[in-house]
């Protein structure tokens, strides 16, 4: 891949990652609620989902899924149902009036559960799959051959820069969390915010 093409791809990837979207919005909310460690763990899961979709594009499965209206519909339904399930859990925590403790930063959800949540949020989102199916092939140079390896390389680059950006966001959100932690009812407010964000993402997945 030519240097100029790579720079263009990397620039486009960074701008797309920074653009307001469901991943970055939920990452910000979760980091404010549970701390930077939880946010970074969630980010690792989201990025693993990116690698999964890249693999589907590379082996041609993404094209098959796109061509099947039933498969796309099922992915949307399962994805939205999972997000609504998470939203219900956050809403229950808010109603129960659970407080956030600074000494237990990130303890509300285990690392394994948060990582799995990030993976499933992306894997069950057909919009992410369609995005990579449309985006990655644009930067493949067929004259260089081995298109599959080029797609894999591009996907890894995208995932790497996304992880760096997500981790930075989680870190700063965690710092903000320490500042606002003493505010009255902040735990409930953040839980309600998390439930609202997840519900909005789920509805967006179903309706658009």
pLDDT(99) > 70: no
Sign of the torsion formed by the C-alpha atoms of 46, 48, 52 and 54: positive
Over residues 75-85, the mean pLDDT reads: 89
Q: How many CB atoms lie within 10 A of CB 3?
A: 7
Q: Give residue for tokens 């499933």.
A: 120
**Tens-place pLDDT, residues 19-47:** 878 889 899 999 998 899 999 999 999 99
pLDDT(120) > 80: yes
Residue 138 CA to residue 49 CA, distance in Å, equals 21
Residue 157 CA to residue 7 CA, distance in Å, equals 11
| Mean pLDDT score of the chain | 85
Are the C-beta atoms of residues 49 and 128 closer than 8 Å to each other?
Answer: yes
Distance in angstroms between the alpha carbons of the first and the last residue of the chain:
35
What pLDDT is attached to residue 170? 95
User: With bands split at pLDDT 50, 70 and 90, how would you rate the model's confidence at 102?
Assistant: very low
pLDDT(101) > 80: no
As given in the structure block, the two tokens for residue 124 are 């069950």
User: With bands split at pLDDT 50, 70 and 90, how would you rate the model's confidence at 97?
Assistant: low
Are the C-beta atoms of residues 90 and 194 closer than 8 Å to each other?
Answer: yes
Over residues 45-72, the mean pLDDT reads: 89
Q: What is this structure's pTM?
A: 0.82
Tell me which of 47-56, 172-181, 182-191 is least confident: 182-191
What pLDDT is attached to residue 106? 41
Closest by CA to 96, choosing from 207, 185, 157, 170, is 185
Helix (H) or strand (E) holding 63: helix 61-67
User: With bands split at pLDDT 50, 70 and 90, how would you rate the model's confidence at 179?
Assistant: confident
Over residues 171-180, the mean pLDDT reads: 88
Q: For the chain, what's the residue count?
A: 208
pLDDT(103) > 50: no
Residue 154 CA to residue 161 CA, distance in Å, equals 11
pLDDT(81) > 80: yes
């Amino acid at each position: 891949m030519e240097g100029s093409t790579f720079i263009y791809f990397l620039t486009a990837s960074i701008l797309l990652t920074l653009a307001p979207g469901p991943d970055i919005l939920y990452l910000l909310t979760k980091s404010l609620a549970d701390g930077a460690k939880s946010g970074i763990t969630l980010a690792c899961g989201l990025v693993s989902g990116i690698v999964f979709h890249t693999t589907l594009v590379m082996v041609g499965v993404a094209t098959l899924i796109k061509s099947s209206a039933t498969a796309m519909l099922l992915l949307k339904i399962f994805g939205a149902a999972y997000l609504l399930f998470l939203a219900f859990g956050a809403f229950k925590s808010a109603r129960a009036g659970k407080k956030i403790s600074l000494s237990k930063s990130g303890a509300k959800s285990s690392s394994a559960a948060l990582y799995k949540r990030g993976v499933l949020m992306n894997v069950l989102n057909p919009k992410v799959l369609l995005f990579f199916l449309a985006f990655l092939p644009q930067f493949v140079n067929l004259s260089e051959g081995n298109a599959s390896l080029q797609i894999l390389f591009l996907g890894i680059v995208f995932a790497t820069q996304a992880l760096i950006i997500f981790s930075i966001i989680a870190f700063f959100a965690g710092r903000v969390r320490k500042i606002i932690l003493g505010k009255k009812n902040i735990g409930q407010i953040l839980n309600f915010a998390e439930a609202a964000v997840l519900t909005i993402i789920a509805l967006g997945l179903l309706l658009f």
